[in-house]
Amino acid sequence: MLIYERESKGRSARAQYQPEQEITDLPAHCLRNERAGLPEVSELQVVRHYTNLSRKNFSIDGEFYPLGSCTMKYNPRGAHKAASIPGFLNRHPLAPERYSQGVLSCLYELQEYLKDITGMKAVSLTPMAGAQGEFAGVAMIRAYHNANNDFERTEILIPSAAHGTNPATGVMCGYKVREVDVTKDGDVDIDALKAAVGPQTAGLMMTNPSTCGVFERKVEEIAQIIHEAGGLLYYDGANLNAILGKVKPGDMGFDVLHMNLHKTFATPHGGGGPGSGPVGVGPRLEPFIPTPVVGKRSQNDADYYYWVDEKEIPGTIGNLSAFMGNAGILLRAYAYARLLGREGMHRVGEYATLNANYMARRLEQAGFQLAYSSRRATHEFIVTLSREARELGVNAMDFAKRLLDYGYHAPTTYFPLLIPECLLIEPTETESREEIDGFVDAMAMILREAKECPETVKGAPVTMPVKRLDDVKAARNLDLAWRES
């Protein structure tokens, strides 16, 4: 039932406002003639309606959520609370620096931590999500080539396993995108890369560990090939959780990267956002970094934090939003970093990897086929259900839907595109052995059901508020806003 279907004309949440005042000084043609048509409901109706809607949702707080490549780990409540302190919430984005030293000091320190963690020379916190970080990174690559009067570089190379945002970003930055094949072991095909690279290559965008759930073993050779051709190397930080504290992208030869703080730094995903996608750069791209960044100088024998803008960074690709980005998310990430500390940071990659390898092995023992069984899993791994689809007529989507009935959020399905009938599974370091065992047991049960009563699996889910939805109807008879019938 929609909030609109609960309304009664004339009802309202009157504690929230004083009466409307008459407007006498605006010309009539500027004024709205008819009410917009927002709901007319009481405050309790609103609270009850949205409380009940919240219950129709899987979430990390409620369920194991092993969505591959999304790093759905515990979002510490302490970090949420720290960022929700009134002094932070009430600060206007354009408040003078003198009255902003609290938030600026946190952001400055976060920049320093991220530089250390990634091995980069400079960090800008301003991109508002991973995809905007990608945009900033590739826009800097373009700015770099332009500054060198090198206008022949029209192409961005991307391994075929990459996230869809990578090719879409290349196009947003005005590049042609060329995909490079991946070998059957999950590494980039070096011969294919050598054949694709040339004077037209602006750069390569790469995720490492890749979306195949394996570490790219030849990353140094790849860096050399791209650099020798005059291109730059972009690190997509989607999978940074796997190597946090273990390997620094800067040491692998990357010139620029983005991080997904809503993954690696445990800030809440919020049902699809907000995210936060800071970028880090090596020396070559430092002159182009997006503004603003936070600087520090000594003033009256104390640290003074200030905004660094285009006056100090004349080559910058500029601002990417009206203000400085998702400060509230950055504060959560800062709080998370302080809670973890140096030692905790090293453990993230270690235990994320331990959990994934354990889970992969247990699923293999339960009769499932791993896509890269000869490789170490990183923080995630792929199960392929093509045999089950072929022999039992039960596919990856059916497994995913049936998992919901067992109380587990489904892994990522049908991605990466190059593995048929796949589930991309990422348990994260914050899950316990019992939780992982429970998921494996559920998968084993579903496999048994698939053999004995496949209709049960194909008809799943049956315990959710709705059964499988008609996506074709949704796209054909577009109903994107409610109208009174």
Partner 1 sequence: MPFVPHTLEDERAMFETIGVDSIESLFDEIPKKLRAGVLQDVPEGISEMELLRLMNERARQDEVDLCFIGAGAYEHHVPAAIWDLVGRGEFLTAYTPYQAEASQGLLQVIYEYQTMMSRLTAMEVSNASVYEGASALAEAVLMAVRANKKSKSRKVLCAGNVHPRYISTCRNIVTNQDIAVETVGWDDATGLVPPESFETWTGEDIAALVISWPNFFGGLDEVDRLTDWAHEQGALVIGVVNPMALSLLTPPGEWGQTGADIVVGEAQPLGIPLASGGPYLGLMCCKQAIVRQMPGRIIGRTEDLDGKEGFALTLQAREQHIRRAKATSNICTNQGLLVTAATIYMSLMGDAGMRAVASQSHNGMTRLLKRLTDIDGVTLRFQGPVFHEAAIRLPLPAVEVLTQMASEGILGGFDLGEVDESLSDCMLTNVTETKTDEDLDKFVRSLRRAVEG
Nearer to partner 1, 186 or 231 (CB): 186
Rg of the chain in Å (alpha carbons) = 25
- The stretch among 281-289, 383-391, 408-416, 442-450 that binds partner 1 (CB under 8 A) is 408-416
Site residues (CB under 8 A) for partner 1, limited to 314-333 = 317-329, 331
- State both tokens at 279: 């970028």
Out of 68, 100, 204, 235, point to the residue binding partner 1 (CB under 8 A).
100
Helix pair 165-172, 130-147: axis angle to 10 deg: 40
Question: Is residue 469 a contact residue for partner 1 (CB under 8 A)?
Answer: yes
Nearer to partner 1, 167 or 231 (CB): 167
Site residues (CB under 8 A) for partner 1, limited to 276-315 = none
- State both tokens at 200: 């037209």
The number of residues that bind partner 1 (CB under 8 A) is 198
Question: Is residue 453 a contact residue for partner 1 (CB under 8 A)?
Answer: no
Question: Is residue 345 a contact residue for partner 1 (CB under 8 A)?
Answer: yes
**Per-residue binder mask for partner 1 (CB under 8 A), 217-256, x = binder:** x-xx----------------------x-xxxx--xx----
Can the peptide bond before residue 159 be classed as cis, meaning omega within 30 degrees of 0?
no
Nearer to partner 1, 224 or 390 (CB): 224
Distance CA 277, CA 300 (A): 34
> Are 162 and 207 within 8 A, CB to CB?
yes
Site residues (CB under 8 A) for partner 1, limited to 108-147 = 112-113, 115-117, 119, 128-132, 134-135, 139, 142
Of residues 419, 416, 418, the one with CA closest to residue 236? 416
- State which H helix or E strand residue 404 sits in: helix 396-405
- If DSSP codes are grouped into helix, strand and coil, which group holds residue 259? strand
Distance CA 179, CA 147 (A): 26
Out of 70, 212, 240, 423, point to the residue binding partner 1 (CB under 8 A).
70
Distance CA 451, CA 160 (A): 33
> Are 433 and 354 within 8 A, CB to CB?
no
The CB-of-384 to partner 1 minimum distance in angstroms stands at 19
The CB-of-343 to partner 1 minimum distance in angstroms stands at 6
Out of 121, 168, 198, 444, point to the residue binding partner 1 (CB under 8 A).
168
Distance CA 217, CA 391 (A): 34
Nearer to partner 1, 126 or 384 (CB): 126
Q: Which residue has the tokens 């052995």?
A: 433
Out of 350, 369, 406, 420, point to the residue binding partner 1 (CB under 8 A).
350
Q: Which residue has the tokens 């109208």?
A: 483
- State which H helix or E strand residue 206 sits in: strand 201-207
Nearer to partner 1, 125 or 197 (CB): 125
Site residues (CB under 8 A) for partner 1, limited to 257-276 = 266, 268-275
- The stretch among 227-235, 279-287, 361-369, 441-449 that binds partner 1 (CB under 8 A) is 361-369
